Chains A and B, each alone.
Chain A
Amino acid sequence: DVKVTQSSRYLVKRTGEKVFLECVQDMDHENMFWYRQDPGLGLRLIYFSYDVKMKEKGDIPEGYSVSREKKERFSLILESASTNQTSMYLCASSLLLEGTGANVLTFGAGSRLTVL
């Protein structure tokens, strides 16, 4: 069964700390994504990567950076955490449906971050 694994389910950090969220997929997918999920706002794209060492900003990249040194691993970094970054963070990887070009996402279970 295909899997996207997020290393931490729950984290509590203090304002100003550096935070690393790790995501690993075992499906050999080219594309990987980091989303933020907040009540009433749905999912918002922070960054995505379509290849090793490649990254593109999503809709809300401010305050975040990412790293993709290996195909299977995509890390989200908060250089200096702030209280407004308290949220659920979801990692996903995607498969392009053959013949359609449509992206189908496989999600991890999420990492709930609280910044105090």
Chain B
Amino acid sequence: AQSVTQLDSHVSVSEGTPVLLRCNYSSSYSPSLFWYVQHPNKGLQLLLKYTSAATLVKGINGFEAEFKKSETSFHLTKPSAHMSDAAEYFCVVSITGTASKLTFGTGTRLQVTL
């Protein structure tokens, strides 16, 4: 069985300050992990992915995430928030090679204020 927990449903930061969106996972197998972003009234877009290569993964728009097996975490970070980062972010765990076994977190809404 696999599961993913996004620890915050809502995060608010000021523009120019760091962003931290937290994700913990549970998986019986070596997981693949993803972060997707959803801007208002849009579909989800892949931000970054971890697939058992480097534990620090860089994605688009300056985001990165670190896979920590000992902590079963895959937190998403960005050094400096921009207004355009305001969106909903989803952490996803996948069992490799199984098309249907993608488990989504419940999402974290990021608000960026001036």
Contact = CB atoms under 8 A, between A and B. Distances in A.
A104 B46 contact: yes
A107 B44 contact: yes
Interface string A90-116: 101010110011111111111000000
Contacts of B45: 107
Majority SS of interface residues in chain B? loop
Contact of A40 (B9, B41, B97): B9
Nearest to A49: B99
A102 B32 contact: yes
Interface in B72-114: 90, 94, 96-100, 102, 104-107
Interface residues on A, range: 20 to 34
A109 B42 contact: yes
Interface in A19-45: 31, 33, 40-45
B52 interface: yes
A94 B37 CA distance: 16
B102 A40 contact: no
B52 A100 contact: yes
16 contacts: A42-B104, A42-B105, A44-B104, A48-B99, A56-B100, A90-B44, A92-B44, A94-B99, A97-B51, A100-B32, A101-B96, A102-B51, A107-B44, A107-B45, A109-B42, A110-B43
Interface of A: 4, 31, 33, 40-45, 48, 50, 56, 58, 90, 92, 94, 96-97, 100-110
Q: Which 6 A-B pairs have the closest CB atoms?
A: A101-B97, A107-B43, A102-B32, A100-B51, A42-B106, A43-B104
